[in-house]
Amino acid sequence: MAAYLWQNGMMDKDSFIAEQGHAMGRPGQARVTPVGSRDAVQGVRVAGTGYVLMRGTVDLPEALDLPEGL
């Protein structure tokens, strides 16, 4: 979202604070900063504090028929 907003001139500043988790009683904030110029966005930097709420594993099939390049 930040890259899209930055590239299309919808951000007045070069970063913003994103918030989430208020409804769950675990409010959090992260500073979101696009990297690169508006016409050549190279990525997005996200900085903040996080908490591990859950851990798990995923079992995948041994062979997947994926298109070339993935």
Phi, psi of 33 (to 5 degrees): -135, 120
- SS3 of 7-23: HCCCCCCCCEEEEECCC
67, part of any domain: no
Cα(67)–Cα(2) distance, integer angstroms:
29
Residue by residue, pLDDT tens for the chain (70 residues) are 888 988 998 988 989 999 988 898 888 899 999 998 888 989 999 999 877 888 999 888 776 676 776 5
18, part of any domain: yes
Q: Is the pTM of this model over 0.75?
A: no
Q: Which domain holds residue 9?
A: 2-48
32, part of any domain: yes
Number of domains making up the chain? 1
How far does the chain reach from its first CA to its final CA, in angstroms?
24
